[in-house]
A and B are shown apart, each in its own frame.
Chain A
Amino acid sequence: MDFMHNTVYEDEPIIANLQENILRIKKICDYSSDLLVNEINVSGVNVALLCCEGMVSSSILTELILLPLTSINLNESSPQNLYDHINTKMLLSTDRISLFTYGNLFRTLNSGFAILLIDGLDKAFAFGVQGYDKRGISEPTGEGNIMGAHEGFVEVVRTNMSLIRRRIKSPTLKLELMMTGSKSKTDICLCYMRDRVPEKLLNDIKKSLNKIDLEVILSSGYVKPFVENKSNGFFDAVGTTERPDVLCSKLMEGRVAILVDGTPFALVIPKLFNESFQTLDDYDFKPYYATFIRWIKYIAFFISVLLPALYIASSIHHPELLNSTLLLILAEAESNAPFSIIAEAIGMLIAYEIIREAGIRLPKAVGGAVSIVAGLIIGDAAVKSGFVSTPLLTVIAISVISGFLTPDLHQQTTILRILFVLFGGLWGLFGISLLAAVFLFNICSTEDYGFPVTAPISPFTPKAMRDIVTRINFRKMQSDTFTIESLKSEKQN
C-alpha cells in the first residue's frame, strides 16, 4: 500500500476528467470494497455517483437524487451548465455541499453523503442522504429520572443537535460544527447561548479544541482532557450528561457544551462540584421535598466516603467515642475475625469493586450468576466462616449504597473511601483530618477556564447558594437569571 501516496490527498484539488477522477479516488482508498461507483449520463454529460455501502438510504438516494438527475434535459449540454442547473434550479437535498478537494470529498463520503462527480469539472456535489443504521432515542442508562423526559442522546451528533434545538427554540442558541481527529475526522459540535456565554470562556475552549492533535476521536473521553484546564484536580472540572434537558438547562446558565459524534455523552464546561448532587427531578418536585432529598445526598456522600474510616478509627484509636453497648458489640465481633480490621475493610472494599466491575462487563446472561455468587456466597459465607465481621460488613454495605446516590462522583468516592480507611486505621481522626485537608485544598484548586469547581460555596456567592442549601422556588428563580459569569475566579473579578 502506498501510504505516502494516500496521505497527500488532503488538499489535493479534484481532477476534472471523470475517469481519472474515479481512478484517483479508488487509489486513495486503495480500492476499498464499500465504495460504490455508479456512472450515468445526464443530458449528454457523463457523471458518476459515489457512496459508501450501508451509509446511504437507498430510497432517499433514488427518489431525491437519481430520479431528478435522470430527468434533467439541458438545452446546451456542458459540464458547467449541468453544474449550474443542479446548483441553482434543483434542490435535491437540504444538506448540499460543493467540494473542491479530495480531503473534503472523503470526509463527506465517509459521513454518508452521496457524491456527484461531473466529467470536465474540478468540483463535485455532496448530498446529505445518510441512511446508516443508528440506535433510536431511548432513556439514558446512567441518569435516571422519574418526572423528566425519557430521551437521551444517541451516537449521531446531528440527532443530538436536533434534540437540543427542539428544547431551545431561540435563535441565540448557536450550534457550531467542527472536525477533529486527523484520521477519524470526527464531527464535534460546540453548543452555547450567544447572549449568555462569557466570550473569554468560549474563545479559550475553541483554542483548546484546536490544540487536539489526535488521530482518532472515538468518544467524549478523548476530548475531555484537552478542555480540562488544570488536569491535576481529583474531581472533575468538566461535566458529562446523556440528557438533552439537563444540557439545555446548563446552556441557559451560560455554559458551553460539546457534542462528539459517536458517543451519547456530551461534555459541559464548566462543572461545579455541587451539581453532582442535583438532578432535573429536583425541579419537578415540591421545593421542600427536593431540599430534603438534596440534603440526603449531601449526607450520603459523606457517609459513603467516611463511614468505614470513622468505624475503623473509632474501633482502633478512639473507642471513647462509642457508647458502651456499641463498644462491646464491636469488640466481640472483631475479636473473632482473623485479620486486622484495616485489612478486613480494604479486602471488603476491593471485593465489592471486583463484583461491581464484573457486573458491568459480564454478558447479561451471566449477570444473574454474579448476583448469586456475590450476595449469597461471598456475603453470607464470608460472615459465617468468620472471615469478616458482621458490623464491618454492614458498615461497608451502607457506605456503598450511599455512594449510589451520587453516581457522578463514583470514581472519586471509590478511591477516597479506601484512602480514608488507610489513614483512619493508621492515624485515627487525625489522619482522616489530614487527608480531608489535602483533598479540600485539591478541590479548591480545581478550576476550569477560571471557574472554580467549589463555587458558589467558595468563592462564596450568596445568591447562588440559595440553590445549594435549598431548592428555590421557580417564582424566585424567574426574578433574576443566574449565569456562571457570577462565579468567576477571584482573580478575574
Chain B
Amino acid sequence: MKKIGYGQLFAVLLLIKIFGFVCSKSIYSIEQMAGVFISTVAQAIVVIPMLILCNSNRVNLKKDVPLGKVGLAFYVFFFVLWGAISFVKLWDVTGSISLPVKNKVFAAFLIAIVCLYASRLGLKVLARSAVIVLGLLALALAVMFIGAYSKIEILNLVKNENSESIWIYALNDFCESGELVALLVLLNFTQSNHKKGVFSYLTAKLVIIEFVSFIGIGVTGHLMQLIEFPFFEIGAYTQPFSTQRADSIYTILFAFLCVINITVQIILASVLIEEIFPKYRFNEITSIILMLIISVAINSTGMDLSLIWGGLIVLLSVIAPLIMYIRRKINAQVQNA
C-alpha cells in the first residue's frame, strides 16, 4: 500500500543520514570531503537495481528477498541492530554534550517511549513529521552558516597530513549508509517518482555533509584533531549569539533526529516481522526491547561492530537487491519464452 510521497521519502532518508553524521566522531578534512563524494557516487550506482525493481513492480518482500523468511530475518536483525547502535550513539553523544538526564539508560528509556508511540502511528505519520523536522534542520544549518560566515579561514582548507586516504573515507561513509538498506523497504511504500526522491536525497546529503565539513574545517582549522564530536563543536564555535556556549540549541535538533531515526528502524523492523509472523501483534514493542537489550550489551562490552555493520550493509543493500533484480530478469525471460 503506497503511503508516502517522494518528498517524504527524501526527508526520511536525509534525516537518518544526518543523525549518523551528527553522531560521527570522524574528523572533517579535505580527504574526508572527497571520500564522501566518491561514496555518494557509488551509492547512486548501487541504488539503480532497487529503483528498477520498485519502478516496474512492487517488491514482494516475502517472495523476492533471497532465502525467503530467513532473508527477511536478516533485514529484521539489521534494523534492530541499527536501532541498538543508535542508542549507543545517543549515549556516546550524551557524554560530550550537556544532556540534563543523569542516567543514560533513563534517557534511552524516554526516547524509547516516544519512538514506540510514534511507531504505533505508522510510516505515513513519521514521513509527515520528517518533512517538518527537515525545516528545523534547515534552520539549524542556516544559523550555523550565519555564525560561521565571518569566522571561516580559507587558509585552514589544506590537506591534512594526519588524515586517512580518500578511499578509506569513501569506504567508511559507504559502510555507514544504513539508509541504503532502509531504501529497499521504504521504496515499497513510496507512491511515485522514486528516482526523484532517491537522487534528491543523495544530492542533498552530499551538499549538507560537504557544507558542514567545509565550515568545520574553515572555522576550527588544526583544532579539528582534538575534537570528539565535530558537529556539536562546530555549532559551539559558530554560534552567532552573545552567549558563552550555544551547543545546547543543537540538543533540540539532536533529540528530533534521534527520535526519527530510531522510529524508522522500529517501523521497518515491525513491517518485516509482520511479513514473517503475520499473526504476531507486538512487533513494535518487541523491536524496541530487543534494541535496548542489544544496545546495553554493546555498550557494556565495548565491542566494535564496524566490520559486521559494513558487511551487512554491503550484503543487504548491494548483493541482495542485485540477486533480486537478476532473478526477476530471469523469471521474466522464462515467462516470455
Contacts and interface: CB of A to CB of B under 8 A. Distances in A.
A418 B126 CA distance: 26
A320 B244 contact: yes
Given A321-B248, A459-B5, A491 B129 contact: no
B249 A444 contact: no
Interface in B109-159: 110-111, 114, 117-118, 121-122, 124-129, 131-133
A100 to B, nearest CB: 50
Contacts of B79: none
A288 interface: no
Contact of A318 (B111, B122, B248): B248
B297 to A, nearest CB: 24
Nearest to B110: A434
B323 interface: no
Given A427-B100, A433-B251, A490-B124, 11 more contacts: A321-B249, A324-B244, A427-B110, A428-B248, A428-B251, A429-B252, A445-B122, A457-B131, A460-B7, A460-B131, A491-B2
Nearest to A423: B110
A432 B118 contact: no
Interface string B160-183: 000000000000000000000000
Contacts of B2: 490-491
B1 A437 contact: no
B98 interface: yes
Contact of B100 (A323, A428, A442): A428
Contact of B259 (A322, A427, A434, A489): A434
A423 to B, nearest CB: 10
B101 interface: yes
B233 to A, nearest CB: 14
B252 A323 contact: no
B335 interface: no
Question: Binding site of A, secondary structure by majority: helix, strand, loop or mixed?
Answer: helix
A432 B252 contact: yes
Contact of B245 (A320, A429, A436): A320
Nearest to A314: B248
Interface of A: 316-318, 320-324, 427-434, 436-438, 440-442, 444-445, 452, 454, 457-460, 489-491, 493
A430 B99 contact: yes
A323 B246 CA distance: 11
Identify which of B3, B110, B121, B128 gathers the most chain A CB atoms within 10 Å of its CB. B128
A392 to B, nearest CB: 19
Given A433-B252, A460-B7, A444 B125 contact: yes
Given A428-B100, A437-B256, A323 B125 contact: no
Given A434-B259, A437-B256, A460-B7, A491 B1 contact: yes
Contact of A427 (B101, B122, B254): B101
**Top 7 A-B pairs, shortest CB-CB distance:** A433-B255, A428-B100, A317-B100, A444-B128, A458-B131, A458-B128, A445-B125
B248 A320 contact: yes
A489 B127 CA distance: 12
B243 interface: yes
B4 interface: yes
B60 interface: no
Interface of B: 1-5, 7-8, 98-101, 107, 110-111, 114, 117-118, 121-122, 124-129, 131-133, 191, 242-246, 248-249, 251-252, 254-256, 259
A460 B125 CA distance: 13
Nearest to B101: A427
A307 to B, nearest CB: 15
Contacts of A429: 100, 248-249, 251-252, 255
A441 B100 contact: no
A489 B101 CA distance: 38
A454 B128 contact: yes
A389 to B, nearest CB: 21
B30 to A, nearest CB: 32
Contacts of B245: 320-321
A318 B245 CA distance: 9
Contacts of A457: 131-132
Given A441-B121, A458-B132, A434 B126 contact: no
A152 B35 CA distance: 65
Contacts of A444: 121, 125-126, 128-129, 132
A199 B245 CA distance: 56
Nearest to B7: A460
A324 B122 CA distance: 45
Contacts of B122: 445
Nearest to B254: A433
A437 B114 contact: yes
Given A433-B252, A434-B259, A437-B255, A321 B131 contact: no
A434 B111 contact: yes
B251 A430 contact: yes
